[in-house]
């Protein structure tokens, strides 16, 4: 077993972090004290496990670090996994956190439409690949304008009548006078593993998959 190189766990620093940390701790990993300090500018943290460190990165970047082997394990939403489609990412475990859906929405004051009657739509989204693929399978050409956030502004400002974005409570759509027309897919976050690392360090990687599996099955984990 390779002991010199640390295993790196990539965690997304956004909203998922709060949900995933109880699982990380249940799995037996306790990051150094700085981790909980909002003022800390550190990006990599030692843990109580001498051979394991944690990096805190943007949600999309967590997938990239693991896919290229810069990190060995990570936590990534299905949305990110499907949008990138990295072949070197293995996602063995649904962590049952980060529940939301990817939906198409449009202004509430526009006439009801039947998506089955569309042939071409223009959409603002952070997920152009998933959107194009979903609609292509239904014979609809989706012209996507890539935004990285605040999609809800696009219809109001005339960028596109429709958006495809993540929805959880629906509060953001409501506040921006948009209605959910169609759910493209349901999303949760998964534990992901770099495939080559799984082959070269099978015992260590399997150990952590099992620890996370147990943590997820432990009913006291916060959701
Ligand atoms: N409203 C939501 N409810 C539940 N889970 C969500 C919601 N929005 C996003 N997620 C999940 O959390 C992940 C990270 O989202 P988050 O909003 O923290 O990042 P972001 O702000 O979109 O990205 P970044 O700021 O890193 O560019 C998403 O990939 C998705 O899986
Ligand atoms: O249905 P709701 O519960 O209102 O959640 C939906 C919002 O959550 C996500 O954004 P987030 O808050 O993560 O910010 P972002 O726009 O910076 O990604 C998503 O992009 C929506 O804007």
Residue % of the chain over a pLDDT of 90:
88
Task: Please determine, for residue 221, whether its predicted confidence score (pLDDT) is greater than 50.
Answer: no
- 25 in Cβ contact with 48 (< 8 Å): no
- pTM, two decimals, is 0.93
For residue 165 and ligand 2, the question of a CB distance below 6 A is answered with yes
* Domain definitions of the chain by residue range: 7-98+188-217, 100-187
In CATH terms, the superfamily for domain 100-187 is Periplasmic binding protein-like II (3.40.190.10)
To the nearest whole number, what is the mean pLDDT of the chain?
Answer: 94
Percent of the chain as helix, strand, coil, to the nearest 5 = 35, 30, 35
Residue owning the nearest CA to atom 19 of ligand 2: 166
For residue 141 and ligand 1, the question of a CB distance below 6 A is answered with no
Which pLDDT belongs to residue 223?
Answer: 42
> How far is residue 93's CA from residue 127's CA, in Å, rounded to a whole number?
23
Q: Residues 111-144: pLDDT tens digits?
A: 788 888 889 999 999 999 999 999 999 999 999 9
Mean pLDDT lowest among 99-113, 134-148, 165-179: 99-113
Which CATH number does 7-98+188-217 carry? 3.40.190.10
Strands 162-167, 100-107: pairing is antiparallel
220: confidence class by pLDDT, cuts 50, 70, 90: low
For residue 166 and ligand 1, the question of a CB distance below 6 A is answered with yes
ipTM for the complex? Answer: 0.94
Which pLDDT belongs to residue 46?
Answer: 97
Which pLDDT belongs to residue 117?
Answer: 87
Which pLDDT belongs to residue 1?
Answer: 44
- 151 in Cβ contact with 104 (< 8 Å): no
3-state secondary structure of 188: coil
Task: Please determine, for residue 3, whether its predicted confidence score (pLDDT) is greater than 70.
Answer: no
7-98+188-217 and 100-187 share one fold: yes
Ligand 2 centroid–CA 80 distance in Å is: 14
For residue 192 and ligand 1, the question of a CB distance below 6 A is answered with no
Choose between 141 and 3: higher pLDDT: 141
3-state secondary structure of 43: coil
**Ligand (nearest to CA of 153):** 2
Tally the C-alpha atoms within 13 A of residue 180's C-alpha that lie toward its C-beta: 18
Residue owning the nearest CA to atom 6 of ligand 2: 167
**Mean pLDDT, residues 14-42:** 94
Which pLDDT belongs to residue 39?
Answer: 87
Ligand 1 centroid–CA 76 distance in Å is: 10
For residue 180 and ligand 2, the question of a CB distance below 6 A is answered with no
Which pLDDT belongs to residue 111?
Answer: 77
For residue 28 and ligand 2, the question of a CB distance below 6 A is answered with no
């Amino acid at each position: 077993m390779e002991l010199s190189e640390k295993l790196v766990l990539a965690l997304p620093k956004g909203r998922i972090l709060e949900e995933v940390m109880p699982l990380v701790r249940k799995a037996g990993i306790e990051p150094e004290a700085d981790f909980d300090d909002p003022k800390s500018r550190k990006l990599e943290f030692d843990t109580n496990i001498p051979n394991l460190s944690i990096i805190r990165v943007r949600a999309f970047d967590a997938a990239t670090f693991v896919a290229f082997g810069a990190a060995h394990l990570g936590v990534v939403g299905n949305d990110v996994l499907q949008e990138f489609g990295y072949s070197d990412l293995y996602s063995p475990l649904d962590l049952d956190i980060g529940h939301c859906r990817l939906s198409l929405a449009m202004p509430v004051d526009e006439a009801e439409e039947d998506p089955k009657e569309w042939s071409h739509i223009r959409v603002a989204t952070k997920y152009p690949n998933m959107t194009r693929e979903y609609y292509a399978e239904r014979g609809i050409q989706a012209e996507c304008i890539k935004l990285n956030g605040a999609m809800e502004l696009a219809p109001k400002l005339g960028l596109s009548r429709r958006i495809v974005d993540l929805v959880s409570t629906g509060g953001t759509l409501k506040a921006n006078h948009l209605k959910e027309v169609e759910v493209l897919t349901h999303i949760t976050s998964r534990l992901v593993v770099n495939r080559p690392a799984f082959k070269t360090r099978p015992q260590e990687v399997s150990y952590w998959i099992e620890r996370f599996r147990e943590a997820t099955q432990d009913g006291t984990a916060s959701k």
